Structures are given as C-alpha cells and as structure tokens.
Amino acid sequence: MNEDAGPIFRQIAVQLEDAIVDGSLAEESQAPSSNELAAFHRINPATAAKGLNQLVTDGVLYKRRGVGMFVATGAREQLLKRRRSEFAEQYLTPLLLEADKVGITVAEIAAMLRERGGQS
C-alpha cells in the first residue's frame, strides 16, 4: 500500500469500489476475504477487515454468514452516484485553483473542455 496516502483501510475500500465501478467485481459476486486482502497487499488483517466493514456500513457489500462478503445489488449505481456528486469537489476545485494561479479564465477553461470533448 501507499504509505503516504493516509489510512490503509480507506485505500482498500477505494480499490474495491473501483473494481465494482469498472465492473471487474460484479454485483452478487464474492468480495475477497480480509485474509486474502491482507496477504495480497501485505497489510494487517484487522486493517483489511476494517476496509471491508466500511463497505458493509455503506451498503456496498453485505455479509453472508459463514460464506463471506458479497457485492450488493445496486452497489455500482450507488457508487457511481456518489462519485458523480464528488466530481466537482475532487476535480474542479483543484482545476479552478490552478487556473486562477496562472491566470486562465473560466471562459478559456470552457473553450479547452469543448476542444477536448470531441476526442474522448
């Protein structure tokens, strides 16, 4: 794990969320266990469990007693919705800050975005 990126349990949760968002971890499929995560990322199993529990609390994963954790139906849509709402704060705030620093106007940013928009 990245030692300079804050709590590891959060990094674990974000990685699993990424896998759900991009579809590599499908809904109703089994999530890795805390011991598997611990072994793979070489982290403390309690930390891995904390990451999983975070996702259970958020309703992204659910527990099946004695079997493990599974991706909830609707988890992908829920995560997409949250990420869309966080988009402005996460990406636009730093963009506007830097633009302000170097003297790029909002109109110029808009023009850049339109220019790029055709490519992606």
Partner 1 sequence: MTAAAGFESVTMRFRGHTALSDVTTEIQADTITGLLGRNGAGKTTMMQLLTGHRVPTSGQVRVLGGAPFENDAVLSQLCFIKESQRYPDLFRVCDAVRAAASVYPSWDQQLADQLLEEFELPVRRNIKKLSRGMTSAVGIVLGLASRAPITLFDEPYLGLDAVARQLFYDRLLADYAEHPRTIVISTHLIEEISDLLEHVLLIDRGRVLLDADAETLRATALTVSGPARQVASFGAAHELVTTESLAGQSRAIVRTGTATARRMATELGLVVEPTSIQKLVVAMSLRSTTTDRATSAAPSDLLGVSR
Residues that bind partner 1 (CB under 8 A): 1, 3-9, 34-35, 38-39, 41-47, 50
By beta-carbon proximity to partner 1, the closer residue of 5 and 113 is 5
Smallest separation (angstroms) from partner 1 to the CB of 9: 6
Smallest separation (angstroms) from partner 1 to the CB of 109: 20
Exposure on the CB side of residue 97, measured as CA atoms within 13 A: 7
Smallest separation (angstroms) from partner 1 to the CB of 37: 10
By beta-carbon proximity to partner 1, the closer residue of 74 and 94 is 94
List the structure tokens of 118: 């055709």
Q: Are 20 and 32 a contacting pair, CB within 8 Å?
A: no
By beta-carbon proximity to partner 1, the closer residue of 4 and 22 is 4
The CA-atom distances, in angstroms, between 30 and each of 3, 40, 65, 90 are 28, 16, 13, 30
By beta-carbon proximity to partner 1, the closer residue of 49 and 79 is 49
Name the nearest CA neighbour of 17 among 95, 71, 66, 63.
Answer: 71
